[in-house]
Structure 1
Amino acid sequence: MLSNCSQCQYFDHQPNHKNDIRCAIAPAYTSMWQKLKSLDKSTINAIPVDSCRDFDLDSRLKKKEINLPLTWKQWQRLIRDYDHPQSIENALDNKLFEHSLSLTIGDWQAIANSSCDRHLVNTLAQQGIEPDESRWIEVDSSCIEAVRFDRLKSSLFVRFHSQSVYLYENFHPRLFEEFVDSSSKGQFFHQQIRDRFPYRQIP
């Protein structure tokens, strides 16, 4: 059976099909593959095929890079209307898009205050726009009154209704976002935060 998919010229498209005669590249149903898939398992295992290169794979799977200057709305429309949007999303996932924006200082300040992206926060800080780390976010909870997060120091501050304040260190920005968005702040705190991070009470 096929045992050396790393030799396949399309291996980087779908690297999860190794050691499997049923190649996960879709929709690459080549004539050879269509013949093989009808065979029983014992017959397939007896076929002396070691490399996908022995097959004539679909030429439509060859990669071709095309410069595609589109507006943000056009990119959104392309992803929305395409039958396989995941392939475009995967291709764009690690792409860095650099574009200048003209927003008011208030808008930039609001972005700095709300963003959990350290790179974004640092970039804005270089422009003199730093997040307001003293800003407390009041929350709806029976035990927690408000929270705030120091992104540059990765520190979470929790103020309880008793007015005691605790600092939790090495806190993750994404976890803070999930904390603020959670439907039950108290439950989230007890399950995801309490006793899981170094903490101390502060004046």
Structure 2
Amino acid sequence: YDYTLCHYTEELQRLIYNMARDAMVHDIHICLFVHAAYSVHKTRYPHALLGALEYDPSFAIRGLAIDTEKALLCKISSHQKLSYTGVFRGRQRLSREEILLAYNGSRHIPISYRAECMKPLNDLFSVAQACLFADVIQFFTDHDIAYEPRAVHEDIESSIAEVHTSGKMHKAVVQDLPLYMEPNTQLRELLSRFQVQNA
């Protein structure tokens, strides 16, 4: 996949989301749940995720960050400040007061904390990852399931990577190009110019 040459439809994000969600339930991805007694238990993700989680193209945008310590999806400015309207735990938007409480009375994120705990979602395929993270956290919250935020993030990141590297996504795209790719009328002309210039 390459966004510099191809224009993909929203269906590609949905495909990535669904494949990663399914991998979390069926494949090797294990979540570590930390209980009050500080014992760690390994378990598979609930099978109920398959029927409960669906990709929502209107929820996330590129450029968000996941706070792996607090299980928050955050919009952060170039000045390291949290947006008062862009911090979510699951699908629930945090209030200004909740944001300040979570971040010690300030919406400024120290560079050291951002480097250690905030994982940026910068590429065009990360929208599916942001949605899946928010949906899993919301599912766990709604069902009173204890979780370790960093482990959930790592499992989702691993599942997303597996979707790309396994070839499953590419195979699905090739089997139905009109569903996943928008026609680019200028691509043929561009490639022809490249060919002529290199001849």
TM-score by shorter chain over 0.5: no
Query: What's the TM-score, normalizing by structure 1?
Result: 0.23
More helix by share: 2
Query: What's the TM-score, normalizing by structure 2?
Result: 0.23
Structure with more relative contact order (C-alpha pairs < 8 Å, separation 6 or more)? 2
- Which structure has the larger Rg? 1
More strand by share: 2
